[in-house]
Structure 1
Amino acid sequence: MRLAPYRAVLGLPGVRPLILVAILARIPSVAAAIALTLHVVEELERGYFAAGLVATASTVGAAIGAPLLGRMVDRRGLRPVLAICTITEGVFWSVAGSLPYPALLVLALVAGVLMLPVFSVVRQSLAALVPVSRRRPAYALDSMSVELSFMVGPALAVLLATSVSPQAAMWAVGLGVVLSGTALFVFNPPVRATDEETVASTVRPPRRSWLSARMVAILAIAVATTMVLGGTDVTVVAVLREADQIGWTGLVLTLWGVFSLVGGFVYGSLSRVPSPLVLLTVLALGTVLVAVAGPQWYLLALLLIPAGALCAPALAAAADAVSQLAPPSVRGEAMGLHGSAITVGLALGAPLAGWVIDLTAPRWGFVATGVAGLLIALAVLPVYLMRRRPPTPVEPLRSAEPSLVTAD
């Protein structure tokens, strides 16, 4: 394991402040779902199903909006998109707490379409700031920053909602989103490298030329990865609840996040790593094996180590692959599709695990999501086995497509 790759990446102009801004800007975004859930349940006095519908509406909106916003970034630049999304979300969060439930449901969908694209923008900017040979540690840092945000954001939302009120948590999320959008607007990270501007401004390849079978396979891998993670999250809670150890849930999920941080750090420091397909396969197998854990919380935490250590690497590998396969002139749209894939996977994983848990037993949630991930890995395997084609003349800056094993 080497630290040199991280030093080299953080030494590049603009990378260090981008990572810091990304960590802070993502916290309100990941806290939004729990703030809305607590508001619907506690203040509107609706059930968790109603709260889930609001979260689903927001998720569907985000999945639709991410590639559209990315396409707008490609054509109009970053700042107009940031301005529109920041204003829209600011208005939504300022009035959401006073809306009746039907209006909240509709506006959650609209606000989801125009959700501040922090995740996609950061990944697109990393592709502009970091040369291809150094993107692996860059995207590993990005995945680790996502883990940190998920460890902090929901906990802060719960703390504020329980100690003050759910309404206060929603206002805090809204304020955080506005500050995040403003910070990104002022920082204005580049979305294309200097040597990419000429090609991007003169040539915009048709979608069929870059949305290839390999790109679709990578997007499917991203869906499968987050589907496994979303199902694991729900299943951990269900297993500990059945074992009457629900009080240990926070610690187990925190350890799971720590395992991911360590795995992401190691992944970014290696000179030779498996492909996204291999990482997904091992992640899914590791998740299935968690089902043999005993009822004690510490046994569950121990068996989560292999799968947990592959969370950040699998996410980083998919983002890296998308950045390499997408021409600079459409990278925003491609990263938006990647963001949609992540969102769809999370939206599918939790209900899939919950459905299986309701029909059988909690530990089968690990099996269900793990097997689903393996099936997707099997479905995209033929694409990885196909003979690779050379880069198209439209994109001279595009790197070779990823193989089953990649190296610096």
Structure 2
Amino acid sequence: MVLMFFARLPMTMMGVTLTMYVVSVLGRGYGAAGLVGAATTLGSALGAPLIGRLIDRFGLRPIVTVCGISSTAFWIAVPHLSFTTLVVVAFPAGLLAVPAGSLARQVLTALVPTPHRRSAYSLDTILVEASFMIGPAAGIAAITKLPATLTLSGIGVLFGATALLLWITNPPIRSEDEQPTVLAGPRPPLRDWLSGQLIGTLFVAAGALFCLVGTEVATLAALRATGETSWTGLVIVVMCVASLVGGVIHGAVKRSLPQAALMFLLAVLVIPVGLADQPWWLLALVLIPTNVLCAPTLAATTETVGRLAPARVRGEAMGLQDASTRLGLAIGSPVVGFAIDHTSPAWGFVASGVGALLIAAIGLLWHRKRTTGHVPAMASSASASA
């Protein structure tokens, strides 16, 4: 967990550091910076399941070696690239990024017995929150106070160092009990394990991240509308602390709500946040209930994916979870931003909640359709034998 915490830190620095570099050093606008970020996000979303599949097949060390070299080379080269070249290489760089998030969940699933996995996933989610509290702030401080070449190359060195540590420690991606079965059996076809329930889980995960990023955008817009942007950092800290508390509670209790219920509450509780103009301190308070459900929803998603995916394809399944969350992030920001631009910040909170519910509803309907319209092969064989 400590190792994966540090492996995530350079990833949390990427977005804000690239944005500040493109805007401040290259003299481009925020739209141009968003183009670079979108290329990186799209590459990582498409690459996560591919990298996971390769880890399933070849093991951790060779894939981490390739990804570590790629990420290090990209960040060391960034200060020497033109904007056009940067946009072009951002996609393959995202495609070959070290999959710290999905890899951490895969390793935890291998190391932790089933009855204790919810607690482990909750602690991992808490550490994710902590990394997002530290990483972006450190990235902004570095890019504003240090030479851009030193900052960007430093991020590359961090990627290389964490990849080297992963190579040295080589944490297990399957438990000792799973290893003989996995090595003996063939890889199950995609249609056999990518069930309706798993697809529904991925949609719910995308909806949750849509809601979270939309809430952040709406919060920034609300503070700007009331002229209280100086309190943004404190409000964000309150939101993160609320999520940490929720993660502790979710991991400590013997039984918790399922993923769909947690995500439903997450989305519903954010809808009324912006119904009235309010000072920053009141906005921070009314954001607490929805943010308390943030870490539990993410932990429950990992728990569900880990339970549904066979050990042989767990890396690919965790990669699909990463892809779904990144797509939710990529969609949420522009959609909620559009709603705010054409209405008000209050409707940004509404758009965050309603949009998340719509995405989750698509997944749950898909699950229901696959469940009612598909008879598993094992059940058909059993019926024929009977």
**What TM-score comes out, normalization by structure 1 length?**
0.89
8 Å CA contact 1:232–1:369 kept in 2: the answer is: yes
> 2:230 & 2:176 partners in 1: Cα distance?
52
Q: Note if 1:105 corresponds to 2:84.
A: no
Contact 1:161/1:167 (<8 A) preserved:
no
Contact 1:39 1:166 in 2 (8 A): yes
Secondary structure in structure 2 of the residue aligned to 1:272: coil
Question: Which residue number corresponds to residue 358 of structure 2?
Answer: 375
Aligned residue number for residue 179 of structure 1 = 161
Assess if the C-alpha contact under 8 Å between 1:222 and 1:342 holds in 2. yes
Distance in 2 separating the partners of 1:127 and 1:106: 36
Question: Secondary structure of 1:288's match?
Answer: helix
Who is 1:14 aligned against?
none
Match of residue 198 from structure 2: 215
**Superposition deviation, residue 220 in structure 1:** 0.4
Shift of 1:172: 2.2
Residue type of the partner of 2:143? A
Q: How far is the alpha carbon of 1:379 from its aligned partner?
A: 3.1
Which residue matches 1:141?
123
Tell me the SS of whatever aligns to 2:256.
Answer: strand
- Alpha-carbon deviation of 1:378? 2.9
Residue 287 of structure 1 aligns with which residue?
270
State how far apart, in whole Å, the 2-side matches of 1:288 and 1:187 are.
Answer: 45
Deviations 1:53-78 (A, max 9, x none): 00000000001100000000000000
User: Is 1:50 matched up with 2:32?
Assistant: yes
Query: Which residue identity is paired with 2:154?
Result: A
Distance (Å, rounded) in 2 between the aligned partners of 1:391 and 1:144: 37
Distance 1:273 1:340 in 2: 25
- State whether residues 243 and 291 of structure 2, in contact with CA within 8 Å, keep that contact through their aligned partners in structure 1: yes
Residue 79, structure 1, aligned to residue 61, structure 2: yes
Distance of 1:220 and 1:196 partners within structure 2: 28
TM-score (norm: length of structure 2): 0.94
Counterpart position of 1:275: 258
Task: Kindly provide the amino acid, as one letter, of the partner of residue 158 in structure 2.
Answer: G
* Distance (Å, rounded) in 2 between the aligned partners of 1:166 and 1:370: 38
RMSD between aligned residues:
1.7
What does residue 253 of structure 1 align with?
236
Match of 2:99 among 92, 109, 117: 117
How many residues align? The count is: 374
Q: Between the two proteins, what is the percent identity of the paired residues?
A: 43
Tell me the CA shift for residue 391 of structure 1.
9.9
Question: Could you tell me how far apart the structure 2 residues matched to 1:298 and 1:99 are?
Answer: 43
Matches within 5 A, 1:294-309: 294-309=277-292
Contact 1:293 1:300 in 2 (8 A): no
1:350 aligns with 333
Are the aligned partners of 2:202 and 2:363 in contact in 1 as well (CA < 8 Å)? no
For residues 391 and 192 of structure 1, the distance between their equivalents in structure 2, rounded to whole angstroms, comes to 26
Give the whole-Å Cα distance in 1 for the aligned partners of 2:130 and 2:173. Answer: 24
From the two aligned structures, give the one with the greater helix fraction: 2
Instruction: Name the amino acid aligned to 2:199.
Output: V
Letter in 2 for 1:329: R
How many Å separate the matches in 2 of 1:349 and 1:243?
A: 23
1:96 aligns with 2:75: no
Specify the SS of the correspondent of 2:289.
helix
1:240 aligns with 2:223: yes
Q: CA deviation at 1:98?
A: 1.1
Which structure 1 segments of 5+ residues have no match? 1-18, 394-408
For the residue of structure 2 that corresponds to 1:273, the secondary structure is coil
Deviation for aligned residue 1:293: 4.9
Q: Return the offset for 1:209.
A: 0.7
Tell me by how many angstroms 1:295 deviates.
Answer: 2.8
**Does 1:189 find its partner at 2:155?**
no
Matched, 1:226 2:233: no
